[in-house]
Amino acid sequence: MQYNDQMKNRVKRIEGQLRGILRMMEEQKDCKDVITQLSAARTALDRTTGLVVSSNLVECVRKAEENGEGSTEELVKEALNLLVKSR
């Protein structure tokens, strides 16, 4: 699978968020502020996971159709299982 710049940039932003959270913890910032930022980072991770899985699904379906192999239904089930596992 090809990971495009949009996906990579999302991960880089999340990495920056996590560094910021660690800095907040080291500076003994308020618990509510830290939790808010942790929640935002988790949401960003969830959305990035969804983007990667959906892009992978589109790519897999396209390849399967081109090669006349595999069922679309099985590919969708596999993608859904990946999303469930990520939670």
**CATH code (residue 78):** 1.20.58.1000
> pLDDT tens digits, residue range 15-71?
999 999 999 999 999 999 999 999 999 999 999 988 888 888 777 777 777 787 767
Other C-beta atoms lying within 10 Å of the C-beta of residue 32? 8
Predicted structure pTM score? 0.76
For residues 15 and 73, give the distance between their C-alpha atoms in angstroms, rounded to a whole number: 35
Which domain, by its residues, includes 40? 5-86
Q: Read off the pLDDT of each residue in 9-16 and give the average, rounded to a whole number.
A: 97
Domain count within the chain: 1
